[in-house]
Structure formats: C-alpha cells, structure tokens
C-alpha cells in the first residue's frame, strides 16, 4: 500500500535518512522502533511531505507522491498524529475533532465520525465543550488520535503516542491500537516502548543512525536480539 524506496532526506545540508526502503502492507500495523535520533520522526515527516526527499521515492497505492504539498496528504488518505499531541489548546475538544475532517470528502461525515471518536474515547464526550488545553496528557493523546481518525484515513501515521503518559494510560492506548488494527486499519507506529510495540505489530523495523538495521514479521522477532541491536553502537 505504502512503499518507501531508497529514501534519503534531512534538514538543509544535514542528511538524516540513509537509503531507507520498506513496505507498509494494507490492513496491518507496522511499527518503527529505535533510540532517540534514529530518524524515526524524520521518516514520518518525509512521508507526509514535511521533509523534502534528497533521493528515492515514496509511493502510495502505486502513485508517486513527488512534491505533493503536505496539506493535500489528508485528502489523499494519509493522516499523521504527531509527537507531543499538538492539539489546539484554545479550542474545544469537539472543534479540535471537527478540524480533523478538513478534506471535502470527509465533511459530510463529521457528525458520525465525531460520535465514533466519542464511542472510542468516552472521556472526550464528557469533555466535548471543554477547552482542549485543560485536558490531561492522556486525554490530549486521545483527542489527537480521535482527530487523526476524523477523515477516515487509509493510512494512519502515529508518532510516539505513549511518550510521557502514565502506565495505565499507556495500556489503554495500546488497547485502542489493537482495536484499530482489528478493524483493518493500516497503521505506521513509531514507538520506544519496544515490548508493547512488538506485541501489537504485524511488521517490525528497527532504525539506528538513519538506517534500517532490522526488518521482520513481528512473530519472528527475538525481543532479546532486538534490544541488543537497539542499544548497540
């Protein structure tokens, strides 16, 4: 569904990604793990057009993205839930959700999609009129995920969703990811919680220093070996 071929990308003269190639199968959860500075977030940004490619190409459903503007990606079926939530704090929970349905094709389903988000995250329904800036960290992450789902994306990119959250909230979050996976969603998950990420994934990729050092089906992953490679220099 999503194909990344020999991609190099970075910021100005600083290259971060080195010849990255991977495939994201439809209806599966693909997780990308690795230490800080490995290039995981840069890869997601490159997919979304936020970071220009220096080499290689990215194909989605057989079409090369090329220089597609980031603001058109949502209409084409890709949505990203960024690290740090990045919700609009001075807007209500409900208005934050509505913004996730920006593409014209999604606007007619706003009410139904809001109700789906409230069904998935009941605490958001209780706080629908509340300013998003008053939410807890866990609630803010629920809102970010709900907003990302409002356009019914074909591929959902999720960057470090468990970062800074209490263990009980992290468990709830991964339960939600498991549910989305069971619904047949195509998900790319960047995550540092190795055990939980591997447990929920279909495909696992390990990045270090801007390169892929391991790519395996999740059921073939030896977690001890994975962690050894994770921390190796």
Those residues with Cβ within 8 angstroms of residue 147's Cβ, 6 or more apart along the chain or in another chain: 81, 87, 96, 97, 99, 100, 117
Q: Evaluate whether residue 34 is within a structural domain.
A: yes
Whether 211 is covered by a domain: the verdict is: yes
Asked, for residue 89, whether it belongs to a domain, the answer is: no
Q: Phi and psi dihedrals of 206, rounded to 5? A: -110, 125
pLDDT of residue 105: 67
For all residues of the chain together, what is the average pLDDT? 91
Q: Does position 174 have pLDDT exceeding 70, yes or no?
A: yes
Print the domain residue range for 44.
1-77+187-233
Residue 81 in this model has a pLDDT that exceeds 70 = yes
**Average pLDDT rounded to a whole number, residues 79-89:** 90
The answer to whether position 37 is within a domain reads: yes
- Kindly state the tokens that stand for 82: 């960024």
Quick one: pLDDT at residue 62?
A: 84
- Any domain includes 150: no
The number of domains in the chain is 1
More confident residue, 85 or 18: 18
pLDDT digits (tens, 9 = 90+) for 57-67: 999 988 887 67
178 domain-assigned: no
116-144 average pLDDT score: 93
Task: Report yes or no: 45 and 4 within 8 Å, Cβ to Cβ.
Answer: no
Please determine, for residue 128, whether its predicted confidence score (pLDDT) is greater than 90: yes
Asked if residue 162 belongs to a domain, the reply is: no
pLDDT for the residue 126? 93
CATH number, domain at 213?
A: 3.40.50.300
Q: Are 188 and 111 in contact (CB under 8 A)?
A: no
pLDDT digits (tens, 9 = 90+) for 190-229: 998 888 999 999 999 999 999 999 999 999 998 888 878 8
Q: For residue 139, tell me if it sits in a domain.
A: no
Percent of the chain with pLDDT over 90: 71
Q: Which helix (H) or strand (E) holds 74?
A: helix 70-76
Would you state the pLDDT for residue 31?
97
Intra-chain end-to-end CA distance of the chain, in Å: 33
């Amino acid at each position: 569904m999503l194909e990344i071929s020999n991609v190099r990308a970075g910021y100005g003269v600083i290259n971060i990604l080195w010849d990255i190639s991977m495939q994201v199968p439809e209806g599966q959860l693909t997780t990308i793990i690795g230490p800080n500075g490995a290039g995981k977030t840069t890869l997601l940004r490159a997919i979304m057009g936020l970071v220009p490619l220096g080499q290689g190409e990215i194909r989605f459903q057989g079409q090369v993205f090329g220089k597609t503007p980031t603001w058109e990606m949502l209409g084409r079926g890709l949505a990203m839930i960024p690290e740090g939530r990045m919700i609009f704090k001075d807007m209500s929970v409900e208005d934050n959700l509505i913004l996730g349905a920006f593409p014209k094709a999604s606007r007619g389903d706003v009410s139904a999609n809001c109700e789906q988000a409230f069904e998935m995250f009941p605490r958001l329904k209780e706080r629908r009129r509340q300013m998003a800036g008053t939410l807890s960290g866990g609630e803010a992450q629920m809102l970010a995920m709900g907003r990302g789902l409002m356009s019914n994306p074909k591929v959902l990119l999720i960057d470090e969703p468990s970062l800074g959250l209490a263990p009980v909230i992290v468990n709830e979050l991964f339960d939600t990811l498991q549910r989305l996976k069971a619904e047949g969603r195509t998900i790319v998950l960047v995550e540092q919680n190795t055990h939980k990420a591997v447990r929920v994934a279909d495909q696992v990729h390990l990045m270090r220093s801007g390169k892929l050092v391991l790519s395996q089906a999740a059921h073939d992953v030896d977690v001890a070996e994975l962690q050894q490679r994770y921390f190796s220099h």
